[in-house]
Structure 1
Amino acid sequence: MRIKAIEAERFHEKYIVDEVSGCWIWQAAKRSTGYGAMKVNGIKESAHRVSYTIFKGQIPDGLWVLHKCDNPQCVNPDHLFTGTPLANSQDMHSKGRQRYVGQKGASNPKSILDANKVGEIIKLIAKGMTNRAIANLFGVSHATISLIRLGKCWADIPRPPDNENFKPYRSLRSQAARQAASSFQEA
Structure 2
Amino acid sequence: MGGHNTHGYAVVSAGGRTGGFLTVHTAWYQRLVGEVPPGLVLDHLCRNRWCVNPAHLEPVTSAENARRGARTKLTADQVESIRRRVGDGESQGAVARSIGISAPHISRIVSGHRWSPVPRAIERRHARLMPLVSSGQGGSESLASNGSRPSLALGKV
Bin the TM-score by the shorter chain: 0.3 to 0.5
Q: TM-score, normalised by structure 2?
A: 0.36
Q: For CA contacts below 8 A with separation 6 or more, give which structure has more relative contact order.
A: 2
